[in-house]
Structure 1
Amino acid sequence: MESYFDKQAKYLYDKAEEIINTYAMLKSNKKGEKFEIDIPQDFKNEFFKLVDKVNLSLMEDKDNFYGYFLFQTLRDIRFDISSPTAVNFKGAKYVIYFNPIIFLSLDMKQMESTIKHEILHILSLHLLRGKELKNKYSTLAINIAMDVVVNQYLNYLPPYATTLQWLNSNYNLKLEPYESFEYYVEKIQMELDLQEVDENGEEVDNHENENIETEYNPEHTHDVWEESDEIDEKTLKEFTEKFVSLSQKGEVPNYLGGLISALKNSKGELPWNLYLKKLMGTVESNKKKTITRRNRRQPNRLDLRGELRGHKAEIAVALDTSGSISDEEFKQAIKEVLNIVKNYNHEITIIECDNEIRRTYKVKSVKDIKERINIRGGTKFTPVFEYANKKKLNLLVYFTDGKGEDRLEVIPRGYKVLWVISGRGDKLSLNNPYGAVKKLSKVEVKEDTIDMSDVRDDGYSMNNQQPML
């Protein structure tokens, strides 16, 4: 039997159709003239009464964080967005927009999910991060990647939602769940670049800049983000934190807790995984001297050695085994390392150490990672650097809680150093770290509401995109 809510949604859907039909008729009669869609005030009132019911349902749910967050936002109706909901930031407020034609075709649970979807974009700072990447990746790749990320945390999605299963099926990919935004956008863009866009090799966009959208279109779901007020990253984070604080009326699910924690702990700097990606770019650009090739700039100078590009990068990943870093944290971290370096010609050595080096071994993939040895001594950093100096490394990544000496007994020579402090650690004890020091966000266990058969054991996701996820 049809509920009162469903009847009201259907009634409003019919009203919405009348509004856009009237607009279309006026437009056809007055070609060349520009005018906005006239949305009667009584329709707005009735529509937002229905949204209030959805909001009340969210506030009564165990995930009531979303309901309290929505309560603080401004709301508006737009027929020109190609998704049920959209969001941007205006006048020191987040604004959530609704396209009645697309939104009202959903049931209540699906409506709730579309609202949660927008709030997860906000918490992940996708409005900022998407903007930063738009000159490097296509709008379609960015939109799909961001939607795949947040939709993995939601149930009751609309049938057309951009999910990981949809992505893998439609783009012939085999991407894993709960990876970072940056991981997905890079893989998606690579696949898009391989596809022929049209006969002339030029990208075709059939999207017409009309005032009415009646169907979901992933390439334009976040167009309204461009209309956000110009605001610096620090200020936007501060506003977001205020929204978050007022929305926490009890316990939040683990995945939300991790996301909120990452947002609050962010200092506006690159997270460790993105910093590592930048370092890898510099490592790969190194050139190996060779006597078998003449110097290209001065070929007649036989005393000058030539250079070979793309030599194998020697990378060491040191793990403090003193018990300060959990197995889950390290598994998550080493998987990220492998994902970042796999496109480079590299060789990785794992170094397990406490107050001395206990074991070293090579890895090429996740399956090569061994169970950690069960020895728990104190922590001393110097032995690892003594080892690294002998091995002529390009890069050393050191995972630790930060508690060790205050001064190294040897100075790192000829390689870059990245310290990653575990989620339980505070800061690095060394007075001079000889490299960048980053924080590893705490690993959270996924909620039971997620399909656990699809969950990786590396625990981090959304703000590992950026842990700033």
Structure 2
Amino acid sequence: MNSSQTNNLIIDGIKTLLDEAPFYGHVIMNLSREMDVNAQNALSLKWQAHQWLLVINPKILTQLLTNHKQIALALAHEALHIIWQHPLRYAKERRQNNVVDIGTDIAVNQYLPQTLGELPHAMTLQTIFDMSGKLLPLHEDSSTYMALVAQLFDNVPSLGQDNVDGHGSWSSIGTATEESAAALALVIKKADEDTKLSGRGKIDSRVQQQIDEIVVPKRHWRSVLRMGLSQMPNKRQSSRARFNRRQAYRLDLLGEISTYDAQVAVFIDNSASISNQQVGQMLATVLQLTQQLDADVRVFSFDTQVHDIKKVTKWVRHAGGGTTFQCIFDTLLERQFNPMQTVVIILTDGEGEKSQLKTKFKHVYWLLPPQKTLSIQKPFGQILRF
């Protein structure tokens, strides 16, 4: 295949991706591209001259991928590495690290556009099953897959020479951590701007959550919760601690203060997937909540059932089994919490049922660790980070 045919195939691949998954396509369009016949892989991401480059070896690319749909899939793979910020997260530990290669590829390959078929030579959950006989869970973060892969293999296999993309150049950021992070975020924000009119395309809700993590302005979870409480129904009561606003010179007249009718119900995930360290972070967060929110705060733990926590500082954890979010809302109704006057705060790693939840409660806040996503198909409420 001559250079003209190769260029046309790459261009067709980009056009196909823009048609099938516009957001992924625009992520690629906002990267500078460099053709390098000496590159070790067909595609790779490299930090150079204060920008992120998509490095393409056209010879290897056309050897491994034979049509525009396969090239579109390979480009989507690179876009997903960017969306999950893998080049930043694993830059320091990338050198000759097969665990990172496999863990990050398994994570992103689950979200490739299914309408385009399968990406040749891709590392997938099925690949790991064929190699080990173990079926890893769906839709986990790359860090989870890395830990599971390290447990499965005494000698973690290499992706091999026929792998489409390479991760070795992620370490090219060197000490430019902040600059490269800002540049990567800018690529995603520009892609978001480019797709506002046409739409992001059909992408998984977990990918949308990850995109929103970057493009939506961040506010501290405490300020978000206080704002939410301030919008709840409230009543006013007389108080000698305030001047009367209408007749401030009359010291004998009582003023008024607002008191919230809202109740705050806090739920701590106690399932087996939560580590003791995460529970400690959750408890610290709950203590801050109870001290700082001007409302009646009730605290519970949950796994597949809800349990009362009478005193947070004396709570002794007994790790449960699975996680069911529906039990939270069922329990709130059983205990006659008012859906209009209850703020529900759920501290969790996001791993629960995938089906849509049934609830009348609208003031819901999910507090998740960084890089974690909510498992339910149609997330509602606000997702915050602690």
TM bin (shorter chain): 0.5 to 0.7
CA–CA distance in 1 between the matches of 2:30 and 2:54? 10
Residue 48 of structure 2 is matched in structure 1 by 90
Counterpart in the other structure of 2:33: 75
Query: SS of the counterpart of 2:90?
Result: helix
Matches within 5 A, 1:295-306: none
Residue 122, structure 1, aligned to residue 70, structure 2: no
CA distance 1:67–1:206, change in 2 (3 Å) = closer
Aligned equivalent of 2:128 = 167
Partners of 1:324 and 1:343 lie apart in 2 by: 23
1:432-459: per-residue Cα shift (whole Å, max 9, x none)?
A: xxxxx87789967xxxxxxxxxxx6478
1:250 is aligned, of 198, 202, 205, to: 198
Residues 298-331 of structure 1, C-alpha deviations (whole Å, 9 max, x = no match): xxxxxxxxxxxxxxxxxxxxxxx97989xxxx8x
Q: Give the one of 70, 73, 91 matched to 1:131.
A: 91
Shift in CA distance, 438/343, structure 1 to aligned 2, threshold 3 Å: closer
Which residue of structure 2 lines up, in the alignment, with residue 341 of structure 1? Answer: 275
SS at match of 1:48: helix
Q: Flag the 1:260–1:150 CA change in 2: closer, same or farther, 3 A.
A: same
CA pair 355-226 structure 1, distance change in 2 beyond 3 A? closer
Contact 2:16 2:69 in 1 (8 A): no
1:225 aligned onto 2:157? no
Residue of structure 1 equivalent to 2:98: 140
C-alpha separation between the residues in 2 aligned to 1:178 and 1:125? 16
Number of aligned positions between the proteins: 286
Q: Do the aligned partners of 1:114 and 1:157 also contact (CA within 8 Å) in 2?
A: no
TM-score (norm 1): 0.49
> Which has the higher relative contact order, 1 or 2, with Cα contacts under 8 A spaced 6 or more apart?
1
User: How far, CA to CA, are the matches of 1:442 and 1:343 in structure 2?
Assistant: 15
Identify the residue that residue 215 of structure 2 maps to in structure 1: 264
Q: Give 1:150 shift.
A: 0.6
Q: Distance in 1 between matches of 2:210 and 2:31?
A: 19
> 1:179 aligns to what?
140
Assess if the C-alpha contact under 8 Å between 2:9 and 2:68 holds in 1: no
The answer (yes or no) to whether the contact 1:66–1:247 under 8 Å persists in 2 is: no
Root-mean-square deviation (CA, aligned residues, Å) is 4.8
* Contact 1:76-1:95 within 8 A present in 2 as well: yes
Shift of 1:118: 0.4
**C-alpha distance in 2 between matches for 1:324 and 1:110:** 49
Please tell me whether the aligned partners of residues 41 and 60 of structure 2 are also in contact (alpha carbons under 8 angstroms). yes
Displacement, 1:243? 3.2
Letter aligned with residue 169 of structure 2: V
Matched, 1:112 2:72: yes
Structure 1 residue 153 corresponds to structure 2 residue 101: no
Report how far residue 175 of structure 1 moved: 1.6
Letter in 2 for 1:216: D
- 8 A Cα contact 2:30 2:190, kept in partner: yes
Kindly provide the CA deviation profile for residues 201-228 of structure 1, in whole angstroms up to 9, marking residues without a partner as x. Answer: xxx9998xxxxxxx4248x821122334
User: What residue in structure 2 maps to residue 366 of structure 1?
Assistant: 322
How far does residue 190 in structure 1 lie from its aligned partner after superposition? 2.5
What is the distance in 2 between the residues matched to 1:368 and 1:268?
28
| Distance apart, 1:266 and its partner CA | 7.5
Instruction: Name the CA shift for 1:173/1:371 in 2 (closer, same or farther; >3 Å).
Output: same
Cα separation, partners in 2 of 1:161 and 1:266, compared to 1, 3 Å: farther
Give secondary structure in 2 for the equivalent of 1:113: helix
Cα separation, 2, equivalents of 1:162 and 1:344 = 30
Compared CA separation, residues 229 and 443, structure 1 to 2 (3 A): closer
Q: Distance between the aligned counterparts of 1:441 and 1:128, measured in 2?
A: 13
Q: Distance in 2 between matches of 1:439 and 1:142?
A: 20
Q: In 2 relative to 1, CA 129–67 (structure 1 residues): closer, same or farther, beyond 3 Å?
A: same
Q: CA deviation at 1:128?
A: 0.8
Equivalent position SS for 1:158: coil
